[in-house]
């Protein structure tokens, strides 16, 4: 039985760019550009590595056609607010995300870090943290 990837409405990157090609699996039948949220540094690296994808000449069906959104502050999807949180990873700028929705507990997703900077730890102080 063939497996079909679910539709993806947007992609939010942390810092890694090597998974960019894997987004193609979610764009086979997509007509519109894929909103891609990331830091300016991450987007610049992606543009350098995958320039073909960002080119206006990228009209190939099934290829990722990113609609880059540099993160400059909290952004919204309907009532969902997404806030980037800087984390210490190593030599590159890395972020996690904090999701806020009316009536729901705030949820943080910080999958790739070595340490929490004090400002990020303070922002997370009111959240019940679970580590897996």
Site residues for Zn ion per CB under 5 A: 112
- Residue with nearest beta carbon to Zn ion: 112
**Least Å distance between CB 64 and Zn ion?**
21
Residues 6+ away with beta carbon under 8 Å from 70: 38, 39, 40, 43
Cβ proximity to Zn ion: between 83 and 112 the closer is 112
Per-position b or e across 7-16, b if 16+ CB within 10 A of its CB: eeeebbbbbe
Rounded to the nearest whole angstrom, what is the least distance from the CB of residue 39 to Zn ion in the complex?
13
In contact, 89 and 103? CB cutoff 8 Å: no
Relative to beta strand 66-70, strand 75-77 is unpaired
| Least CB distance to Zn ion at residue 37 (A) | 17
Strand, helix or coil at 132? coil
Nearer to Zn ion, 62 or 111 (CB): 111
Which CB sits closer to Zn ion, 79 or 88?
Answer: 88
By beta-carbon proximity to Zn ion, the closer residue of 105 and 117 is 117
Please report how close the Cβ of residue 78 comes to Zn ion at its closest, in angstroms: 29
Question: How many CB atoms sit inside 10 A of residue 118's CB?
Answer: 8
């Amino acid at each position: 039985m063939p497996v079909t990837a679910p539709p993806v409405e947007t992609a939010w990157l942390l810092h890694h760019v090597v998974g960019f090609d894997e987004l193609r699996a979610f764009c086979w039948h997509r007509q519109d550009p894929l909103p891609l949220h990331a830091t300016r540094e991450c987007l610049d690296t992606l543009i350098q590595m995958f320039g073909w994808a960002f080119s206006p000449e990228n009209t190939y069906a099934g290829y990722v056609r990113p609609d880059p959104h540099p993160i400059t502050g909290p952004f919204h999807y309907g009532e969902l607010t997404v806030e980037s949180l800087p984390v210490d990873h190593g030599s590159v700028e890395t972020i996690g995300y904090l999701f806020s929705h009316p009536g729901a507990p705030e949820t943080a997703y910080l999958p790739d870090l070595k340490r929490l900077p004090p400002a990020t730890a303070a922002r997370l102080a009111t959240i019940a943290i679970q580590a897996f």
